[in-house]
Amino acid sequence: MCCIAHTTRVKIIISRKMCLKVFRFLQYFYICVGLLSCNAKEDRCFCHLSGQVDDCFCDIETLEQFNNEKVYPLIQDIILKDYFRYYKVNLFKPCKFFDGDVGLCENEACSVKICPEEDLPKGMRNENFNKNCHEKGTLTICDSKKMDLGDVNGTLSNITKDFLSQWDVHDNTIHRFCDLDDETSADLQYVDLVNNPERYTGYKGPMAWRIWKSIYEENCFLPEDSNKKKNVMYAPFSQGENILQVTNGDLQGMCLEKRVFYRVISGLHTSINTHLSMEYLFEDGWGEKKWGPNLQEFQRRFDPSITKGEGTARLKNLYFIFLLELRALSKLYLYFKQESIFLFTGRLKEDKDMKQMLIKLLEVTNNFPMHFDEGVMFKDENAKSLKIEFAQRFLNVTRIIDCVTCEKCRLWGKLQTQGLGTALKILFSGEEISGIDNPPFKLLRQEVVSLVNAFARLSESIKSLEKFRELILLQQRSHSKEEL
């Protein structure tokens, strides 16, 4: 298969694999010399999406190539493994902010299928929780002998209950970014993430957008200058949706820490919107349903002419949050190389292989040369109080997700905010992360599962942008043929 890239009078026939790279090079070149405008509807989402990621020392092109060629293939295999595909969560926490039952989504696509216990690996089932499990031949044998935490790191194995009773540092810390559920609670249930994929469910309207309005308007930092506050605008994220927005100009007048907070929230929102556009629900006149990419929906969410010029900034924030979580993962490389760290499902050979896959991914992230630098944050005289406020605001964001009235949206919202909260804990809790056995820094299973899956969602979002660019190329070719 081939495609055609047009210069002024020359048609270049190239392979499909090289088509995207050549097209983007020509875009950047023509933009630089002023020969190509961004007024064409098909171009507007991507034509300025290049160069350095804001508040970072990494360019978008390098980061995109790194993700698509190195990270994406690895992490897609990892999240299919049992340890990461089964997420234990309480989907029925009461909403603390407004009536969480109003506007309940009744669409079938909004529902979540709970995983039957018999489908779980033996070592993850309730009757084996907090037991010593080992393999004998083809069987997994579990007994009630409790293991010493010096032998098995209880934060990652099925001995979590023992460890929780001894570990109150996390719950008492002033830098707590997420509420962590007691994994022994009957309120928690396993969900198979592979069988409950994140995609467009048809859930929309005032009940859906009040979540993001609450996050942006009540929990994101706003400019301190009173005159700037008056100029903060309402900008649409989709057709008919308006949310209070801090513009890029307003962000430059804010301190780094507040900019980082806004960028990670915006980047998370962008990632979710990208997933919904990539896995959009189409229904024909016969009631048949299918999911697939919806370029028009993507353009409604990110076209600068519809988003009052903010669409490109939102896409850049996707790369920003990817860099932040990439940095958090890279810091775990030595931690997971410890022999005492187990990713436990009760299938010992698979567990060992899975850990090696994770270590390979962490090694790749650790070798990335242009990481987000968390060391420059929280350095001034107000650092302590600002860090506390930063953590409290994000903790509030995670609690707002309990008010989402679409079950599947709540599931993926909780997973991705918990994953982001775990990344923030790794970067800003102040606890030393090392490769020595029994380090002071600990992670619970739900933190590990949410962090890896949340990062996988960001990786897939960036990969999806490649698909949307290809769809735009096809659209442009179709328009060109119509004009001939």
479 lies in some domain? yes
Mean of pLDDT values over 97-109: 74
288 and 176 fall within a common domain: yes
Question: Is pLDDT at 165 greater than 80 in this prediction?
Answer: no
Query: Which pLDDT tens digit goes with each residue over 34-55?
Result: 333 455 555 567 777 888 998 8
Residue 243, pLDDT score? 63
41 lies in some domain? no
Query: Percentage of residues in the chain with pLDDT exceeding 70?
Result: 73
Query: Which pLDDT tens digit goes with each residue over 291-347?
Result: 899 999 999 889 888 887 788 999 999 999 999 999 999 999 999 998 888 898 988
Mean of pLDDT values over 201-227: 81
Residue 32, pLDDT score? 41
Question: Is pLDDT at 101 greater than 70 in this prediction?
Answer: no
Phi, psi dihedrals of residue 390, rounded to the nearest 5°: -55, -50
148 and 14 fall within a common domain: no
43 lies in some domain? no
28 and 85 fall within a common domain: no
- pTM of the predicted model as reported, rounded to 2 decimal places: 0.82
316 and 218 fall within a common domain: yes
Residue 61, pLDDT score? 94
Query: Which pLDDT tens digit goes with each residue over 119-147?
Result: 999 888 875 554 445 554 444 455 544 43
Residue 308, pLDDT score? 79
SS percent in the chain: helix, strand, coil, step 5: 50, 10, 40
30 and 113 fall within a common domain: no
304 and 417 fall within a common domain: yes
Question: Is pLDDT at 438 greater than 50 in this prediction?
Answer: yes
Residue 217, pLDDT score? 85
431 and 386 fall within a common domain: yes
How many domains, the chain?
A: 2
239 and 375 fall within a common domain: yes
Question: Is pLDDT at 29 greater than 60 in this prediction?
Answer: no
Mean of pLDDT values over 432-438: 67
287 and 345 fall within a common domain: yes
44 lies in some domain? no
Phi, psi dihedrals of residue 407, rounded to the nearest 5°: -60, -45
113 lies in some domain? yes
The contacts found for 386-392 with CB under 8 angstroms, 24 or more apart, are: 386/255, 386/257, 387/175, 387/257, 387/428, 388/174, 388/175, 390/257, 390/261, 390/428, 391/174, 391/175, 391/176, 391/177, 391/424, 391/428
191 and 306 fall within a common domain: yes
279 lies in some domain? yes
The residue among 413, 416, 409 whose CA lies nearest residue 110 is: 409
Mean of pLDDT values over 106-118: 89
Query: Which pLDDT tens digit goes with each residue over 370-420?
Result: 999 999 999 988 888 999 999 999 999 999 999 999 999 999 999 999 999
- pLDDT range class, residue 249, cuts 50, 70, 90: confident
- pLDDT range class, residue 432, cuts 50, 70, 90: confident
286 token code pair = 């016969």
42 lies in some domain? no
92 and 19 fall within a common domain: no
Residue 316, pLDDT score? 95
276 lies in some domain? yes
21 and 151 fall within a common domain: no
CA distances to 135, 142, 184, 344 from 132, rounded to whole Å, are 10, 5, 16, 11
184 token code pair = 């022994």
Residue 152, pLDDT score? 32
Domain that holds residue 22: 1-36
